[in-house]
Amino acid sequence: MKAIVVREFGGPEVLRLEEAPLPKPAAGQVLVRVMASGVNPADTYTRSGTYAVKPELPYTPGTDGAGTVEVLGPGARRFKPGDRVYLARSISGTYAEYALAAEAQVHPLPDAVGFSEGAGLYVPYGAAYHALFHHALALPGETVLVHGASGGVGVAALQLGRARGLAMYGTAGTERGRELVLREGARAVFDHGDPGYQDALAHAVEGRGFDVILEMLANVNLGRDLKLLATRGRVVVIGSRGEATITPRDLMGRRGSIHAMTLWAATEAEEAEIHAALAAGMEAGSVRPVVGRELPLAEAAQSHRAVMERGAFGKIVLLPQAARG
């Protein structure tokens, strides 16, 4: 099979398309024919070799994917060959024509949800759900600012929050991104590149502040987020790419709090809740991943450059089955 193989940590150019042996499922494992692989910013951090998650070399990247069940290992009984599924991690990596997974990492994908959309489920929606409902404990009627709402996690947060009765607000850096944020359920959208947009944010909630802020770039925004919080407001740090300076008094007077999360630390029970909520959301039509860009697997390096650029629009996915074309 074709797979992206990383033999040394480094820039996007270390993502090389190679011929790799087809994995054989052992007991309790499932081989999935990958139709689409989701590209997440964390894939680029891992590839660079500077991240907390540092796999043994060589490795095939990719946590998210969707496709069909190809072969079941002994004792794997939850699926049958041909079933449509999405992956929430895998054993062998999803940037490949086939991925080996433990049965527990495989989840049903309804017919109404395409494979590319399915590849945008686990990390983005899992992170958004974990932040909103396990950390912020957001309640219907509360106001939520999604600071960076045009990308994978942001769109997921807007959809999940709106379906739960939260009043959602978002930011994006481009006109196209802002249109997407409004379309996906924000009451109002702001340009995080606009000088003074924080004043406009404060005005949008009549100076009361936001009950919850989901932060995608804490190194840039955390200090100012604290000034935008309501009494007992909570910031949840989802993404950060450097150091941040805060003024603790901004929290003290508000009885505010800062939470910080990674999906990798979610418990088994939290994971089960996430997948149950995603199944219900897909059935109800409220969970609908937005795919902004599809690239052939051979262009994995380009996908890693693109996911780190400004101007996000939902998800970027790779199409492994185009690898032979």
Residue 285's nearest CA partner among 60, 91, 110, 147 is 110
Instruction: Confirm or reject binding of residue 217 to ligand NAP (CB under 6 A).
Output: yes
**Mapped to the 3 state alphabet, what secondary structure does 71-136 carry?**
EECCCCCCCCCCCEEEEECCCCCCCECEEEEEHHHEEECCCCCCHHHHCCCHHHHHHHHHHHHHHC
Residue 225's nearest CA partner among 140, 45, 239, 163 is 239
Task: Specify whether the CB–CB gap between 228 and 201 falls below 8 A.
Answer: yes
Taking the complex as a whole, how short is the minimal distance between the CB of residue 6 and ligand NAP, in angstroms? Answer: 18
* Choices 11-19, 24-32, 52-60, 173-181; region in contact with ligand NAP by CB under 6 A: 173-181
Q: Output the residue with the shortest Cβ distance to ligand NAP.
A: 151
Angstrom distance (rounded) from CA 76 to CA 58: 28
Instruction: Confirm or reject binding of residue 174 to ligand NAP (CB under 6 A).
Output: yes
- By CB under 6 A, name the one of 15, 312, 318, 319 that touches ligand NAP: 312
Q: What is the DSSP letter of 168?
A: E
Instruction: Confirm or reject binding of residue 292 to ligand NAP (CB under 6 A).
Output: no
Instruction: Confirm or reject binding of residue 159 to ligand NAP (CB under 6 A).
Output: no
* Choices 14-22, 135-143, 198-206, 258-266; region in contact with ligand NAP by CB under 6 A: 258-266
Q: What is the DSSP letter of 151?
A: B
Site for ligand NAP in 230-249 (CB under 6 A): 238-239
Instruction: Confirm or reject binding of residue 42 to ligand NAP (CB under 6 A).
Output: yes
Return the residue matching tokens 């999803």: 94
Angstrom distance (rounded) from CA 15 to CA 169: 36
Q: Kindly state the number of chain residues that form the binding site for ligand NAP, as judged by CB under 6 A.
A: 33
Instruction: Confirm or reject binding of residue 220 to ligand NAP (CB under 6 A).
Output: yes
Instruction: Confirm or reject binding of residue 185 to ligand NAP (CB under 6 A).
Output: no
* Choices 37-45, 50-58, 81-89, 108-116; region in contact with ligand NAP by CB under 6 A: 37-45
Return the residue matching tokens 């006109």: 175
Q: Which residues bind ligand NAP (CB under 6 A)?
A: 40-42, 123-124, 127, 147-154, 171-174, 177, 192, 216-217, 220-221, 238-239, 261-263, 307, 310-312
